[in-house]
Amino acid sequence: MRARLYFALMLAATAALSAALLVYLLYAANVIPFPYDYDQGEGFEVQDTVYFSRSELPYRDTESYPFYSSNYPPLFHVLAAPFVWIFGPAHWYGRALGFLGSLLSAGTIGYAVWRDGGGQRWIALLSAFAFLSSNFVYHIGPLFRQHTLMVTFETLAVVLLAGAFPKRQRRRIALAMLLLGCAGYTKQLAAISAAAACLWMFLRQPRRGTAWTAVFALAGGAVFAWLFIASDGQWWTQAIVANVNDFLFDQASGLFVLWFKLHGALLIPAALLLLYETYFERLSIYSIWFVFSALLGGVASGTWGAGDSYFVTSIAAACILSGIMFSRVANQCFAFPGRLRALPVMTLCARGLILIPLLYLGYARATLKLPTDGAFAPAASLLGLEANIRGNFYDSASFDVGGYARIGYFLSAADWEAGAQISERIRQSDKPALSEDAGFSLAAGRDVISNPTQLRNLHLAGLFTGAELIGMIERQDFGLIVLRALFYPPAVLQAIDRHYIERERIHMNGFDYLLLYAKETEA
Task: Give 515's strand partners.
Answer: 482, 504
pLDDT in the model for residue 340: 55
pLDDT in the model for residue 523: 37
pLDDT in the model for residue 522: 44
pLDDT in the model for residue 58: 96
Q: What is the CA radius of gyration of the chain?
A: 25
Tell me how far apart the alpha carbons of residues 411 and 139 are, in angstroms, rounded to a whole number: 14
Q: Do the beta carbons of residue 167 and residue 53 sit within 8 Å?
A: no
Closest Cα partner for 136 from 285, 278, 24? 24
Using CA atoms in the order 425, 426, 428, 433, what is the torsion angle rounded to 10 degrees? 130
Tell me how far apart the alpha carbons of residues 317 and 327 are, in angstroms, rounded to a whole number: 15
Task: Report angle CA 433, 457, 490 to the nearest 5 degrees.
Answer: 60
- Tens place of pLDDT per residue across the chain (523 aa): 778 899 999 999 999 999 999 999 999 999 999 999 999 889 999 999 999 999 999 999 999 999 999 999 999 999 999 999 999 999 999 999 999 999 999 999 999 999 999 889 999 999 999 999 999 999 999 999 999 999 999 999 999 999 887 666 889 999 999 999 999 999 999 999 999 999 999 998 899 899 999 999 999 999 999 999 999 999 999 999 888 888 999 999 999 999 999 999 999 999 999 998 998 888 999 999 999 999 999 999 999 888 999 999 999 999 999 999 999 988 877 676 665 555 555 666 667 788 999 999 999 999 999 999 989 999 999 989 988 888 889 999 876 788 888 789 999 999 999 999 999 999 999 999 999 999 999 999 999 999 999 999 999 999 999 999 999 999 999 999 999 999 999 999 999 999 999 999 999 998 999 999 999 744 3
Closest Cα partner for 468 from 70, 59, 61? 61
